[in-house]
Amino acid sequence: MAYSDRQDGCRADGAHILPFSQESITALWAQWEELSADVADRNVFLEPWAAQAAVGLIGPDEAIIVAFFEKGRLIGLAVFACDARYAHLPLGHYRSHLHAHQFLATPLVRRGKEVVFARMLTECLDRAPAYINFCRFTHMAADTAVRAALEAFCAGGNRRCDIVQLVERPAIDATQDLEGYLKAHVSSRRKKRLRRLGRRLAELGDVRFEHLQDQAQLADWLDDFLALEQKGWKGEVGTAINCRPAETAFFRHLAEAAMQRGQLIFSRLTVGGKGVAYALDLRSADRVFSLKVAYDADYASYSPGMQLEFHCLKYFLNEPSIGFVDSCATSANTCLRGLWAQSVSVMQIVIARKGLRYGLPLTAARLLEHASAVGTRIRRLGDNRPVSARDMEAGT
C-alpha cells in the first residue's frame, strides 16, 4: 500500500490510502457521509463525524484510512494500522484500527458493492510491501454482507480467509413486543428484585427515567456523567475518562456531534432530581450501539446501573424506530445477563496474500495461537479457576 497523492474528490478506481487526519476526513466528508447512509452493515464508529471526534485520540502515524473508489464514487472505507508482529512472530500485517472507545470495526461498504470491495481489498493487499503478510479484520460483525463477500471471494480465488476468533456479546432484537419479551426472557425473580430495588430507591426521593432532549443541557449531563464515572473504581485506578484530557475532549466532541445529528440516546436515572446512573448510546438508522454506562457508587446497594438498564430495555422495545441494540459488552457482563436475551457475533478474520511465502507463516502463527489458548485453559483447570472469555481469546 502507498499513500494516495490525490486529495480531490475525483479518484481513480481502487484503494486510496490516506493518513488518519482532520485533512483526510474533510477531503472525504461529502462522499463518506453519503456512503454511511447506503451500507448494508451499519457501524456508527466509522461514520465521518465519529471518526472526526477521534482524531485527538489517534497519533498522526498510528492509523490510515483506506478508501475504495469505483468510477469516482466511494464504495468502501476502512481504518487500518500496521503491526510488525502477530502471535509472537515477526509477521508484518495490516489490522483494523480501534481506539479505546470503539467497539466495532466492520468496514463501511456500499450496499451491493461487497464483491467489488473484496476484489479491490485483495488487489491492494497483493501490491503491499513484501513484509506485509496478511490483512486482519478485528471486531467485525459476523452476520454481515461484507463478511460473506470476503469469504466467498477468497474461496473462489484460492486465497486463505481464516476465522481466528468468534465471540458473542449481549444484544436486543428490538422488533419484539415488550410484554412478550419480558415474559419470555426476563425471569420473575429478576423482575421482582428490580421492583424491590425500585421501591427502596423511591424511599430516598422521586425516581425518574429521563432522556436528554435539549441540546442546551448536554454539557451539564456530560459533566455529571463523567464525574460519576470518575467517582467510582475507574477514578481510583486512573482509567476514568476524566483522568485523560484527550478522552474527555473526545467524548464531548462525539456527544455534541451525535446530538446535533439526532444520533445520541442519552439516558439517566434520577433520585430527587439527582442523577445516579447514566447511559450514553449512539444510533445509526435503526441500530443502536451502547457506548458507556456510569453510576453513583454511593447508591451501589440499590443497583442503579441495573435499574437504568432495565428502563433502557423497555425504552428500546417500545421505540418503533429501533430494530436492534448492540451492547458492545462482553458476554461476561453480569449487569446485562438476564435482561438482554439475544446476542451478536463479533469475529476476527485474517485474509492472506497469495502464495506459500505468505500462507506458511500464517499457518505457523495459527498453530502457536492454538497452543497458547490450550495452555491457558490447562493452567486455569489446574488452578481450579473458570476460563474467562478473555482467556478464550488468548493469542489473538
Give the model's pLDDT for residue 382: 65
- Looking at per-residue confidence, does 234 or 172 come out higher? 172
Give the model's pLDDT for residue 392: 32
- In this structure, the answer to whether residues 100 and 190 fall within a common structural domain is no
**Domain termination residue (choose one: 275, 290, 322):** 322
Cα dihedral: 20, 150, 87, 343 (round 10): 90
Give the model's pLDDT for residue 337: 79
Report the Cα 270 to chain-centroid distance in Å.
28
| 101 C-beta neighbours (distance < 10 Å), count | 18
Residue 390 in this model has a pLDDT that exceeds 70: no
Give the model's pLDDT for residue 383: 63
Q: How far is CA 69 from CA 28, 74, 110, 274, 295, in A?
A: 11, 4, 11, 50, 45
Give the model's pLDDT for residue 165: 92
- In this structure, the answer to whether residues 42 and 137 fall within a common structural domain is yes
**Cβ 352 vs Cβ 134: under 8 Å:** yes
Q: What is the mean pLDDT of residues 271-289?
A: 97
Residue 359 in this model has a pLDDT that exceeds 90: no
Give the model's pLDDT for residue 384: 53
Q: What is the mean pLDDT of residues 301-314?
A: 96
Give the model's pLDDT for residue 388: 39
Run of H or E including 50: helix 48-53
Give the model's pLDDT for residue 183: 96
Q: Which domain holds residue 39?
A: 14-168+345-392
Please choose, from the candidates 109, 93, 106, the residue with its C-alpha nearest in 3D space to the C-alpha of residue 351.
93
Run of H or E including 226: helix 218-231
Give residue 393's pLDDT band: very low, low, confident or very high (50, 70, 90). very low
Report d(CA 134, CA 91) in Å as an integer. 9
Arithmetic mean of pLDDT over the chain = 91
Q: What is the mean pLDDT of residues 38-55?
A: 98
Counting other chains too, the contacts that 360-365 makes at CB distance below 8 Å and 24 or more residues apart are 361/89, 361/91, 361/133, 362/91, 362/133, 362/134, 362/160, 362/162, 364/89, 365/86, 365/87, 365/89, 365/91
- In this structure, the answer to whether residues 88 and 138 fall within a common structural domain is yes
The residue whose grid cell reads 454482507 is: 145
Give residue 365's pLDDT band: very low, low, confident or very high (50, 70, 90). confident
Domain presence at residue 45: yes
Domain presence at residue 339: no
Domain presence at residue 3: no
- In this structure, the answer to whether residues 195 and 161 fall within a common structural domain is no
Q: What is residue 281's three-state secondary structure?
A: strand
Q: What is the mean pLDDT of residues 37-66?
A: 96
- In this structure, the answer to whether residues 152 and 223 fall within a common structural domain is no
Give the model's pLDDT for residue 358: 85
The count of structural domains within the chain is: 2
What proportion of the chain, given as a percentage, has pLDDT over 90? 80
Domain presence at residue 96: yes
Give the model's pLDDT for residue 155: 94
Give the model's pLDDT for residue 1: 52
**Cβ 345 vs Cβ 106: under 8 Å:** no
Q: What is the mean pLDDT of residues 342-350?
A: 96
- In this structure, the answer to whether residues 267 and 187 fall within a common structural domain is yes
Give the model's pLDDT for residue 6: 43
Give the model's pLDDT for residue 379: 73
- In this structure, the answer to whether residues 115 and 221 fall within a common structural domain is no
Domain presence at residue 59: yes
The number of helices, as runs of H, and strands, as runs of E, in the chain is 12, 13
Q: What is residue 186's three-state secondary structure?
A: coil
CA–CA–CA angle 359, 125, 84 (5° rounding): 70
- In this structure, the answer to whether residues 188 and 142 fall within a common structural domain is no
Burial class (CB in 10 A: 0-12, 13-18, 19+), 321: exposed
- In this structure, the answer to whether residues 150 and 204 fall within a common structural domain is no
Domain presence at residue 328: no
Q: What is the mean pLDDT of residues 234-259?
A: 94
- In this structure, the answer to whether residues 315 and 349 fall within a common structural domain is no
Instruction: Give this prediction's pTM.
Output: 0.90
Phi then psi for residue 379, to 5 deg, are -60, -40
Q: What is residue 331's three-state secondary structure?
A: coil
Please choose, from the candidates 58, 59, 60, 79, the residue with its C-alpha nearest in 3D space to the C-alpha of residue 68.
79
Give the model's pLDDT for residue 10: 56
**Cβ 351 vs Cβ 120: under 8 Å:** no
Report d(CA 346, CA 105) in Å as an integer. 10
Give the model's pLDDT for residue 8: 44
Run of H or E including 228: helix 218-231
Q: What is the mean pLDDT of residues 125-148?
A: 95
Domain presence at residue 113: yes
**Domain termination residue (choose one: 322, 354, 375):** 322
Burial class (CB in 10 A: 0-12, 13-18, 19+), 213: exposed
Give the model's pLDDT for residue 109: 98
Least confident of 75-89, 106-120, 284-298, 331-345: 331-345
- In this structure, the answer to whether residues 160 and 191 fall within a common structural domain is no
Residue 223 in this model has a pLDDT that exceeds 80: yes
Grid coordinates representing 44 are: 456508527
Domain presence at residue 228: yes
- In this structure, the answer to whether residues 22 and 143 fall within a common structural domain is yes
Residue 386 in this model has a pLDDT that exceeds 80: no
Give the model's pLDDT for residue 9: 47
Q: Which CATH number belongs to the domain containing residue 55 in this structure?
A: 3.40.630.30
